[in-house]
Amino acid sequence: MTSTLPPYLAAYPANLTEPVARLLAQGRLGEALRRKYPAAHAIRTDRALHDYVQALRAEYLRNAPQPSKILFDGKLQSVGRALGTHTRIARVQGGKLKTKHEIRIAAVFREAPPEFLRMIVAHELAHLKESEHDKAFYQLCRHIEADYHQLEFDLRAYLCHLAAGGPPLWPATP
Ligand SMILES: [Zn+2]
């Protein structure tokens, strides 16, 4: 049986993606995700997101650069790899080159389980220190959230569910 999945899980081996494709084809992927992640988090505003990110930063990456802006971004499409973005803006200030770090979290994470939010915030915080998606980067992600890889996989499965026309699973106003 060949099943087609939206491309969010394209980088994973078939033995991992086939069960997801099967659930999607059976119309049961949403139900499976809801069972695994029953609750939504309550961080809905940029202010709340800011405090949440800063608390994690203080706990795990105390000596990382300070982000200049932290916000949910409704214009970020949850396509490709742009789940969140981390922008490094270099500008000259008082004769010195200063770097500003902005953390923008895709709006899909506003209405999501706490595990998914923590995963994407770990990802963006790790970018304060490591710009590439390399080994050192993923080590930092796992330092902040030990279950990082499984959570990224499950988040990508959720994006497949949405791309296939499934309803949001953790709406703020059900
Ligand atoms: Zn990244």
Over range 51-66, report the average pLDDT.
Answer: 94
Domain presence at residue 81: yes
Domain presence at residue 174: no
Tally of domains within the chain: 1
Q: Map tokens 């995700």 to a residue.
A: 33
**pLDDT for 78 beyond 60:** no
Going by pLDDT thresholds of 50, 70 and 90, the confidence category of residue 6 is confident
Tell me what the pLDDT averaged over the chain comes to.
Answer: 88
No. of helices (H) and no. of strands (E), the chain: 6, 3
pLDDT of the residue at 89:
62
pLDDT of the residue at 85:
60
Name the region of 165 (left: φ>0; alpha: ψ -120 to 50; beta: rest).
left
* Percent share of the chain, pLDDT over 70: 85
**pLDDT for 167 beyond 90:** yes
**pLDDT for 26 beyond 60:** yes
Type of residue found at 8: Y
**Which residues lie closer than 8 Å to 156 by C-beta, 6 or more apart?**
8, 9, 12
For residue 152, the CA-to-ligand 1 centroid distance in Å is 12
For residue 131, the CA-to-ligand 1 centroid distance in Å is 8
d(CA 25, CA 19): 10
Give the residue ranges of DSSP H helices in the chain. 14-25, 29-36, 46-60, 114-126, 135-144, 148-163
**Which residues lie closer than 8 Å to 109 by C-beta, 6 or more apart?**
72, 83, 84, 116, 117, 120
Domain presence at residue 88: yes
Domain presence at residue 51: yes
Domain presence at residue 129: yes
Domain presence at residue 21: yes
For residue 150, the CA-to-ligand 1 centroid distance in Å is 16
* Residue 115, burial from CB neighbour count under 10 angstroms (0-12, 13-18, 19+): middle
For residue 124, the CA-to-ligand 1 centroid distance in Å is 6
Between residues 172 and 150, the one the model is more confident about: 150
Residue 65 gets which letter from DSSP?
Answer: P
Length of the chain: 174
Range of 134's domain?
7-163
For residue 103, the CA-to-ligand 1 centroid distance in Å is 11
For residue 56, the CA-to-ligand 1 centroid distance in Å is 17
Between residues 133 and 19, the one the model is more confident about: 19
pLDDT of the residue at 95:
66
For residue 13, the CA-to-ligand 1 centroid distance in Å is 20
Domain presence at residue 2: no
Over range 100-129, report the average pLDDT.
Answer: 92
Domain presence at residue 168: no
